[in-house]
């Protein structure tokens, strides 16, 4: 895109109040104005479908405005570029004055412009911003979200990735009205699809949004005339599961897990953040070992057995890794830091006879204390561990390296202090260690049979019931949640997530115990 187009997206232009937003000759007053909200490339697919449908002579709607994330630094050159949706809209000749890029969707200048448009409907698809009640009250027919899961399953920021990580055989896309609670609005329509064992997250996401665009156009007439509101079905909150945002720390692989678990994780994290592992390159001739970090690109579960379990084998064009439970994983493509993706054969040839060994460094961890809790169902131990990451950042590879502590102390929960960033992390040791850690800004405290703490990253309250082995997550009470709110829980044995209604009295009681008194 040229510099002129980039300049047109400056927020100073977008902030200008539209005295007559329908002044463009492309706007037809007989058609209902829709506002589209989206940011990444997959959202542009939905926008394109709306553009094409609105150009039909008998179309009942028009795209009156677009809301997207502000321009940001992207690519290796770190150039400030508009979002994929904004760039696509400009390429299609859409007026830059009608592309809004608020930092937050509750900014008054933005809400004033939205009210001036008098939208009949707002449509969201991976917008990436929280919508306030002030926003939701503006469109006459409400706001409809295209969510790539079969709601109420996988509510949250990463439904496709978490579904693949769980190894689901079926998923889909849902159209639902947006409410203040996370992805909890009434469902207008949904469509199921089967999931191939080898499909990766970017491909599945693209397919689901393509399917979602067709579903949206099919349901749009009933949404615009209001009949969809009456037929929409409320979600069963008791069946809800969560799909929290992916973090870079989750990208590390631990080969003591089952090969299927690792294969699913590689598929789920493909694209960003990817999956990584550390290895030792063993040069027996010179008695040297060098640490190597490798990005794992493509895999499949193997029936092959590796005679040398501690070392990586090469067979039939694939690297063979011995995994937990006697399983094996074939790695087909890898990538060295700063290099291009290569197939396993090219990488193996580059080793020039050196052996590859999975790196496990247990020396970086120290047990600082063991604390025992005695709930009604029996005795449990919580181990406090401190460690310093060698690369000066905490990562899940470090958590995997202290996995040997589990057998030694027979713990249900492990709590780690991270010396580098001085935060706390709680890890569910009965489940996947690299997927269930929580940042804390203060140590755990126990009361009434629960262990409570504050999740620093998302500012959520957390509570662990040691008797039922259930971990609860709930938001801080605020003006939106005075009368009722939902708490989310996950059973650490089964991994089943639940959503519960909770009283505000209980919530305030918990927050009184866990909130830092200094305000830090």
DSSP letters along 459-510, please? TEEEEEETTTTEEEEEEPP-GGGSS-EEEEEEETTT--EEEEEE-HHHHHHH
193 plus 262 within the same structural domain? no
Question: Are β-strands 413-418 and 424-428 bridged in parallel, bridged antiparallel, or unpaired?
Answer: antiparallel
**Residue 66 belongs to what H/E stretch?**
strand 61-67
Highest mean pLDDT among 4-13, 115-124, 375-384, 426-435: 115-124
**Does position 442 have pLDDT exceeding 70, yes or no?**
no
Cβ atoms < 10 Å from Cβ of 493:
13
Q: Is residue 302 part of a domain?
A: yes
d(CA 416, CA 396): 11
CATH number of the domain bearing residue 154: 3.40.50.170
**Does position 491 have pLDDT exceeding 60, yes or no?**
no
Sheet arrangement for strand 187-194:
99-100, 61-67, 32-38, 121-125, 143-147, 170-177, 187-194
**Does position 246 have pLDDT exceeding 80, yes or no?**
yes
Segment 363-370 mean pLDDT: 36
**Does position 341 have pLDDT exceeding 50, yes or no?**
yes
d(CA 471, CA 436): 11
Segment 218-239 mean pLDDT: 96
Quick one: pLDDT at residue 75? 64
Q: Is residue 65 part of a domain?
A: yes
Which residues lie below 8 Å from residue 285, measured CB to CB, with a gap of 6+? none
297 plus 257 within the same structural domain? yes
67 plus 10 within the same structural domain? yes
Quick one: pLDDT at residue 321? 93
Packing angle of the helix pair 84-91, 41-54 (nearest 10 deg): 30
Greater confidence (459 vs 443) lies with 459
* 385-425 pLDDT tens trace: 433 333 323 333 333 333 333 333 444 444 444 333 334 44
Q: Is residue 348 part of a domain?
A: yes
**Does position 197 have pLDDT exceeding 60, yes or no?**
yes
353 plus 367 within the same structural domain? no
**Does position 499 have pLDDT exceeding 60, yes or no?**
no
Quick one: pLDDT at residue 204? 98
Quick one: pLDDT at residue 224? 97
216 plus 267 within the same structural domain? no
d(CA 413, CA 434): 13
Which of 338, 358, 378 is a domain's end point? Answer: 358
Quick one: pLDDT at residue 230? 95
**Residue 85 belongs to what H/E stretch?**
helix 84-91
**Does position 220 have pLDDT exceeding 50, yes or no?**
yes
DSSP secondary structure code for residue 246 in this structure: P
**Does position 374 have pLDDT exceeding 60, yes or no?**
no
- Among the ranges given (144-158, 266-280, 500-514), the one the predictor scored with the smallest mean pLDDT: 500-514
d(CA 395, CA 421): 11
**Does position 147 have pLDDT exceeding 70, yes or no?**
yes
Q: Is residue 384 part of a domain?
A: yes
Mean pLDDT of the chain: 75
Is 264 in contact with 199 (CB distance < 8 Å)?
no
Greater confidence (235 vs 8) lies with 235
User: Whose structure tokens read 């209902």?
Assistant: 32
Quick one: pLDDT at residue 394? 33
Which residues lie below 8 Å from residue 73, measured CB to CB, with a gap of 6+? 79, 80, 81
Share of the chain above pLDDT 90, in %: 50
Q: Is residue 187 part of a domain?
A: yes
* 31-42 pLDDT tens trace: 999 999 999 999
List b or e across 46-81, with b for residues whose CB sees 16 or more CB atoms inside 10 angstroms: bbebbbebbeeeebbbbbbbbbbbbbeeeeeeeeeb
- Among the ranges given (36-45, 76-85, 173-182, 273-282), the one the predictor scored with the smallest mean pLDDT: 76-85
**Does position 11 have pLDDT exceeding 70, yes or no?**
no
Q: Is residue 190 part of a domain?
A: yes
d(CA 223, CA 207): 23
- Smallest CA-to-CA distance from 4 within 64, 67, 91, 78 is with 91
Is 209 in contact with 193 (CB distance < 8 Å)?
no
DSSP secondary structure code for residue 245 in this structure: P
- Smallest CA-to-CA distance from 204 within 153, 157, 148, 248 is with 148
Segment 301-315 mean pLDDT: 82
Give CA angle at 519 (516, 520), nearest 5°: 80
Tokens of 376: 């009604």
Segment 468-479 mean pLDDT: 56
Q: Which residues form the domain of 431?
A: 362-514
Which of 239, 274, 294 is a domain's end point? Answer: 239
12 plus 94 within the same structural domain? yes
158 plus 282 within the same structural domain? no
Q: Is residue 519 part of a domain?
A: no
Which residues lie below 8 Å from residue 65, measured CB to CB, with a gap of 6+? 21, 33, 35, 36, 98, 99, 100, 113, 114, 117, 119
Quick one: pLDDT at residue 244? 84
**Does position 87 have pLDDT exceeding 90, yes or no?**
yes
Segment 259-284 mean pLDDT: 92
Confidence of residue 207 (pLDDT cuts 50, 70, 90): very high
Cβ atoms < 10 Å from Cβ of 408:
10
382 plus 502 within the same structural domain? yes
133 plus 280 within the same structural domain? no
Phi-psi region of 452 (alpha: psi -120 to 50; beta: other; left: phi over 0): beta
Number of domains in the chain: 3
Confidence of residue 186 (pLDDT cuts 50, 70, 90): very high
331 plus 409 within the same structural domain? no
- The DSSP-derived string for 174-238 is EEEE--SSTT-SPEEEEEEEE--TT--HHHHHHHHHHHHHHHHHHHHHHHHTTHHHHHPBPP-GG
Quick one: pLDDT at residue 498? 53
**Does position 344 have pLDDT exceeding 90, yes or no?**
yes
186 plus 322 within the same structural domain? no
21 plus 84 within the same structural domain? yes
CATH number of the domain bearing residue 266: 3.40.50.12230
d(CA 85, CA 87): 5
User: Whose structure tokens read 């399917």?
Assistant: 211
Quick one: pLDDT at residue 464? 58
Is 44 in contact with 88 (CB distance < 8 Å)?
yes
Confidence of residue 248 (pLDDT cuts 50, 70, 90): confident
- Smallest CA-to-CA distance from 232 within 178, 181, 193 is with 178
Is 99 in contact with 89 (CB distance < 8 Å)?
yes
Q: Is residue 520 part of a domain?
A: no
Which of 207, 239, 271 is a domain's end point? Answer: 239
**Does position 485 have pLDDT exceeding 90, yes or no?**
no
Tokens of 14: 């977008």
Quick one: pLDDT at residue 252? 87
Which phi and psi angles does 112 have, rounded to 5°? Answer: -65, -40
Confidence of residue 256 (pLDDT cuts 50, 70, 90): confident
Segment 116-129 mean pLDDT: 96
Confidence of residue 476 (pLDDT cuts 50, 70, 90): low
């Amino acid at each position: 895109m040229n510099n002129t187009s980039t300049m047109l997206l400056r927020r100073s232009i977008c902030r200008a109040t539209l005295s007559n937003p329908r002044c463009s000759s492309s706007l037809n007053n007989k058609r209902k104005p829709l506002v589209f909200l989206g940011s990444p490339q997959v959202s542009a697919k939905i926008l394109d479908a709306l553009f094409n449908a609105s150009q039909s002579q008998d179309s009942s709607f028009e795209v009156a405005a677009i809301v997207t994330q502000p321009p940001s630094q992207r690519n290796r050159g770190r150039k400030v570029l508009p979002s994929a949706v904004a760039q696509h809209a400009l390429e299609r000749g859409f007026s830059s004055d009608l592309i809004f890029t608020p930092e937050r969707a509750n900014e008054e200048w933005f809400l004033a412009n939205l009210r001036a448009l008098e939208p009949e409907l707002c449509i969201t698809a991976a917008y990436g911003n929280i919508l306030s009640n002030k926003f939701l009250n503006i469109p006459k027919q409400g706001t409809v979200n295209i969510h790539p899961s079969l709601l109420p399953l996988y509510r949250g920021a990463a439904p496709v990735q978490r579904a693949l990580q769980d190894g689901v055989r079926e998923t889909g896309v849902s159209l639902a009205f947006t409410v203040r609670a996370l992805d909890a609005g009434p469902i207008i329509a949904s469509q199921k699809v089967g999931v191939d064992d080898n499909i990766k997250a970017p491909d599945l996401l693209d397919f689901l949004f393509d399917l979602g665009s067709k579903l949206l156009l099919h349901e749009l007439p009933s949404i615009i005339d209001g009949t969809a509101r009456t037929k929409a079905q409320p979600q069963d909150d008791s069946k809800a599961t969560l799909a929290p945002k992916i973090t870079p720390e989750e990208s590390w692989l631990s080969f003591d897990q089952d090969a299927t678990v690792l294969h699913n994780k590689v598929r789920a994290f493909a694209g960003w953040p990817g999956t990584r592992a550390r290895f030792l390159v063993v040069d027996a001739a010179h008695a040297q070992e060098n640490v190597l970090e490798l990005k794992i690109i493509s895999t499949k579960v193997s029936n092959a057995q590796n005679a040398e379990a501690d070392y990586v084998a090469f067979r039939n064009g694939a690297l063979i890794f011995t995994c937990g439970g006697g399983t094996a994983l074939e790695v087909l493509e890898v990538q060295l830091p700063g290099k291009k993706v290569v197939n396993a054969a090219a990488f193996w040839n580059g080793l020039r006879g050196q052996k590859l060994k999975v790196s496990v460094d247990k020396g970086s961890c120290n047990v600082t204390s063991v604390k025992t809790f005695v709930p009604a169902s029996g005795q449990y131990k919580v181990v406090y561990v401190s460690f310093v990451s060698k690369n000066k950042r905490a990562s899940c590879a470090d958590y995997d390296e202290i996995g040997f502590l589990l057998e030694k102390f027979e713990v249900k929960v492990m709590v780690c202090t991270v010396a580098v960033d001085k935060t706390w992390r709680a890890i569910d040791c009965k489940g996947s260690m690299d997927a269930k850690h929580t940042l804390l800004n203060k140590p755990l405290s126990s009361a009434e049979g629960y262990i409570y703490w504050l999740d620093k990253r998302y500012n959520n309250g957390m509570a662990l019931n040691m008797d039922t082995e259930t971990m609860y997550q709930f938001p801080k009470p605020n003006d939106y949640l005075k009368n009722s709110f939902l708490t989310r829980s996950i059973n650490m044995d089964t991994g089943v997530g639940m959503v519960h209604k909770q009283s505000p009295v209980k919530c305030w009681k918990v927050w009184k115990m866990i909130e830092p008194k200094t305000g830090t």
